[in-house]
Amino acid sequence: MPLPPSFEGRLRLPVIAAPMFLASGPEMVLACCRAGIVGSFPAKNRRTREGLDEWLTVIGEGLAAIEAGTGRPAPHFGVNLIVHRSNDVLQEELEVITRHRVPLVITSLGAVPELVGAVHDYGGLVFHDVINLRHAAKAIEAGVDGLIAVAAGAGGHTGKASPFALVNEIREVFDGALMLSGAMSTGGDVAAAQVMGADLAYLGTRFIGTAECRSPEDYKTMILDSRQRAHGMARHLVGGSWCRQHHRHSAHRRSGRQAGGGISRGAGSAAGPGACACSHTGKRTGHRRRQPMTRPQPSARADYPFFTRLHTRWDDNDIYGHLNNTVHYKLMDTAVNGWLLDHVGLDPHHGATIYLVVETGCSYFAELGYPAPVDVGLRVTRLGSSSVTYDIGLFAPGSDSAAARGSFVHVHVDRHTHRPEPIADAARSAYEALVKDG
C-alpha cells in the first residue's frame, strides 16, 4: 500500500519512533531522522507554547544540517497532539505547529476535521491513533492521511485487539497509509507488520534504552532487565497522580517493584502486552472501582419512522427453537439494503458508489422465531459526511417493544478504490427522512 508521496526517498527503514511522554525530545527526533526513520515527540513534553516553539526551532535547524551533510531529504518528523476536550491548550499547540509547518501531526483521542484541514492547509499530513474499526471510520471521515492501528501490547492509550484482526478489518475500508503499533522491537517484527498489511511499524519501547531518551537511567535499566511477565495494563490512569508517580523515578528499583506508572504515550512493553512499560508486582492503587454494566433497553415501535416486514424461513430457527443470533444480523442487513435500493438508488452490481459495513452490534430482549414474520424498524442516529449510523429494531408483529435492537454503520466508498466518498445530496435527503432522535 502506498505511503504519501512526500515520504518517497526519505526512509531507510519502514519505522516510526513513537512519541513517548517524558521520554522523546529533540535529541531523539534528530537521531531517528539521521538514522533514516521518522522521529516524533508529544507536544505535552513541553508545557508551554514558548517551549514547544523552541523545540521545533531546534529540530528544524538540526534537520537542515542533516540534509546539508547527506545531500538528500531527511525523513519527516512528527508531533503528537492530544485532541481530547481536556487539552485546553490544543489551539495554542496547533498554532505553533502550523507556524513551523510540522510535516506530520499524530493525533490521539479525537479525530477532528477542522484540525485535519488546518494541517492540510500548510501541506502537512495527519496520522491518527485508532484501537478499533469504529475509531477508524471516524478518522477516515475526518480526512486523515494515515491510521495508526494501536493493537494489543501497545503503550499509552493501548488497544486490546489482535494486530491480525485489527489490520485486516481496517484494510477492508482503508487503503491509505497504515501503521501498526503493539509490542514490536526487532527487524523481524517490522517485516511481519508489513506482511500483515501495514506500511510502517510504530515502535516506542525499543528507543527507551538509547542515549537520546530523556527517561532516567534507572528507568532505562529496569526496562532492559524486564521480561513479559513483569508487565501489565494499568486501567483508568491518565495524567494526574499517575504522572507524579512517573516523576518519582527513585521508586523504580532494579528488582522491578514500583508504585505505578510508566511511559504514557507509545511506550508499551516490547516484551509483552502491557499498556505501560513498568512492573506492577505490588498493590494496585489509585484505580477506580469498575462500574457495573448498564444493560441496553429495548426500543419502542414509535421510535422508528420506517418499517418493513420480513418473513422468516424454516432453517432460521436453531436447536433451541428460536431465531439464531446470526439471523438477526441477516434481517438487519436485508432491511437496510432494501431501503437503500428503494430510496437511495443503490446499484450493488454497477453503481460507482457502494456501501461497506464497518461496525454492527445487537442486543437481545425477547425471542423471535419461524414461522412468524419480523417487523424491522429503521432510523438514522448519525449522518456524517460519508458514513451513516442506523438504529434498527426487530419486532414481533403486534408488539410495541423490540425483541432485538441493533446498530449498523455504513461508509460510502468508491467501488474501485474503496476510499470514502461524500454522501451525494440526493442520498442525504433520503437519509434525513430517517433521522430521529431516541
User: 157 and 124 in one domain?
Assistant: yes
User: Tell me, what's the pLDDT at 406?
Assistant: 94
User: 396 and 317 in one domain?
Assistant: yes
User: 316 and 245 in one domain?
Assistant: no
Average pLDDT value for residue range 287-298? 61
User: 317 and 368 in one domain?
Assistant: yes
Instruction: Count how many domains the chain has.
Output: 2
Report yes or no on 74 lying in a domain. yes
- At 234, the pLDDT band (50, 70, 90 cuts) reads low
User: 348 and 229 in one domain?
Assistant: no
Q: Indicate whether this model's pTM tops 0.85.
A: no
Q: What sections of 71-112 are H helices per DSSP?
A: 90-100
Report yes or no on 296 lying in a domain. no
User: 25 and 129 in one domain?
Assistant: yes
Question: Which residues are 308's β-sheet partners?
Answer: 376
User: Tell me, what's the pLDDT at 205?
Assistant: 87
User: 255 and 124 in one domain?
Assistant: yes
Mean pLDDT over all residues of the chain?
A: 84
Higher pLDDT, 280 or 328: 328
- At 282, the pLDDT band (50, 70, 90 cuts) reads very low
Last residue of a domain, one of 291, 316, 350: 291
User: 243 and 139 in one domain?
Assistant: yes
CA distances from 91 to 59, 78, 96, 137 (A): 21, 17, 9, 24
Domain that holds residue 63: 1-291
User: Tell me, what's the pLDDT at 160?
Assistant: 81
- At 235, the pLDDT band (50, 70, 90 cuts) reads low
CA distances from 90 to 111, 141, 245, 382 (A): 13, 21, 25, 26
Strands of 39-42's sheet, edge to edge? 15-17, 200-203, 177-181, 146-150, 125-130, 104-108, 77-82, 39-42
Average pLDDT value for residue range 223-242? 58
User: 182 and 115 in one domain?
Assistant: yes
Which among 45, 52, 40, 142 is positioned nearest to 92, based on CA atoms? 52
User: 96 and 12 in one domain?
Assistant: yes
Give per-residue pLDDT as tens, 34-60: 999 999 999 999 989 999 999 999 999
Give per-residue pLDDT as tens, 301-315: 999 999 999 999 999
How far the first Cα of the chain sits from its last, in Å, is 41
> Any idea which residue has 461524500 for its cell?
422
User: 423 and 308 in one domain?
Assistant: yes
Q: State the CATH number of the domain containing residue 133.
A: 3.20.20.70
Report yes or no on 356 lying in a domain. yes
Report yes or no on 437 lying in a domain. no
User: Tell me, what's the pLDDT at 284?
Assistant: 38
Give per-residue pLDDT as tens, 373-397: 999 999 999 888 888 999 999 999 9
> Any idea which residue has 430482549 for its cell?
365
Report yes or no on 381 lying in a domain. yes
User: Tell me, what's the pLDDT at 377?
Assistant: 97
Strand-pair category, 200-203 with 15-17: parallel
Give per-residue pLDDT as tens, 316-342: 999 989 999 999 999 999 999 999 999
User: 57 and 178 in one domain?
Assistant: yes
CA 274-175-43 angle, to 5 degrees, is 50
71-75, 244-248, 374-378: which has the minimum mean pLDDT? 244-248
